[in-house]
Amino acid sequence: DAGVIQSPRHEVTEMGQEVTLRCKPISGHNSLFWYRQTMMRGLELLIYFNNNVPIDDSGMPEDRFSAKMPNASFSTLKIQPSEPRDSAVYFCASSTGNEAFFGQGTRLTVV
Amino acid sequence: GESVGLHLPTLSVQEGDNSIINCAYSNSASDYFIWYKQESGKGPQFIIDIRSNMDKRQGQRVTVLLNKTVKHLSLQIAATQPGDSAVYFCAEKKGNNRLAFGKGNQVVVIP
């Protein structure tokens, strides 16, 4: 297995634009997590899915953020409209219930 | 490098020496703990885990110690190598399969 695959690796966008981050979890993993990493706040859990169903989205900062998991092999995290303070590295991780395996992350810069 | 804290606690260790990284966790009900390693430009990688019914677990060159009385976790790296330079995170598993991460510790190996 290639591991958790995220795209794009880097994204630079202008304030106000819509941004969509993509994730392909490891096949067979039934839990998927979206994390955000910044210098100030470290690794924060935004939302997680179990069997494609959102279980806990209490970490989603505001309504500008949304996440979907239409099937077991794909998830998106969307920010609209994006703001400079959304600049961070966004990680997707998947799990079968114990340790989570992380993707390489998407480095988002909003200018 | 990626967005990890500029003000992380930093451990500088001579190559070949042993390293000890410490972590305090918050929830006495947490039953599963993991240490992750994050190198620059990469996502966190699983190193070793331990369940709350254990005090110690050993892997290859790494040992995790768990003290539930004081809610303390430590990671010991034997014979530290330049490739061990990274940020190390402890994570505790909370309810609903969530992993909550600590702020991280930077390890710098001096050749």
Distance from CA of B38 to the nearest CA of A (A): 10
Contacts of A43 in chain B (CB under 8 A): 44, 89, 101, 104
Residue B103 has pLDDT above 90, yes or no: no
Distance from CA of B101 to the nearest CA of A (A): 6
Angle subtended at Cα B70 by Cα A59 and Cα B75, rounded to the nearest 5 degrees:
75
Would you state the structure tokens that stand for residue B38, as one six-digit string? 């994050």
- Which of B5, B43, B99 is facing A42, going by the closest CB pair? B5
CB contact under 8 A, B2 and A105: yes
- Residue B67: other Cβ atoms inside 10 A: 11
Q: Measured between alpha carbons, how far apart are the two ends of chain B, in Å?
A: 20
Residue B1 has pLDDT above 60, yes or no: no
Distance separating alpha carbons of residues A106 and A111, to the nearest angstrom: 16
Residue B5 has pLDDT above 60, yes or no: no
Quick one: residue B97, left, alpha or beta (phi over 0 = left, psi -120 to 50 = alpha)? left
Contacts of A102 in chain B (CB under 8 A): 36, 43-45
Spell out the residues 6+ positions from residue A58 whose beta carbon is closer than 8 angstroms to its own: none
Task: pLDDT band for A31, please (50, 70, 90 cuts).
Answer: very high
Single-letter amino acid code for the residue at B72: H
Query: Which three-class secondary structure string do you get for A44-96?
Result: EEEEEEECCEEEECCCCCCCCEEEEEEECCEEEEEECCCCHHHCEEEEEEEEC
Q: What average pLDDT does this structure show over B83-97?
A: 87
Residue A22 has pLDDT above 50, yes or no: yes
Residue B2 has pLDDT above 50, yes or no: no
Cβ-contact B79, B95 below 8 angstroms: no
Task: pLDDT band for A23, please (50, 70, 90 cuts).
Answer: very high
**Tens digits of per-residue pLDDT, B28-85?**
888 899 999 999 999 999 999 999 999 999 999 999 999 999 999 999 999 999 999 9
Contacts of A37 in chain B (CB under 8 A): 2-4
b/e code B84-104 from CB counts within 10 Å (16+ = b): bbbbbbbbbbbeebbbbbbbb
Distance separating alpha carbons of residues A61 and A71, to the nearest angstrom: 24
Distance separating alpha carbons of residues A75 and B66, to the nearest angstrom: 35
Contacts of A38 in chain B (CB under 8 A): 3
**Torsion sign over Cα A18, A57, B96, B34:** positive
CB contact under 8 A, B43 and A104: yes
Predicted local distance difference test score (pLDDT) of residue B56: 97
Predicted local distance difference test score (pLDDT) of residue A36: 96
CB contact under 8 A, B96 and A37: no
**Tens digits of per-residue pLDDT, A32-87?**
999 999 988 889 999 999 999 999 899 998 899 999 999 999 999 999 999 999 99
Chain A nearest-CA residue for B101? A43
Strand, helix or coil for residue B50: strand
Chain A nearest-CA residue for B93? A98
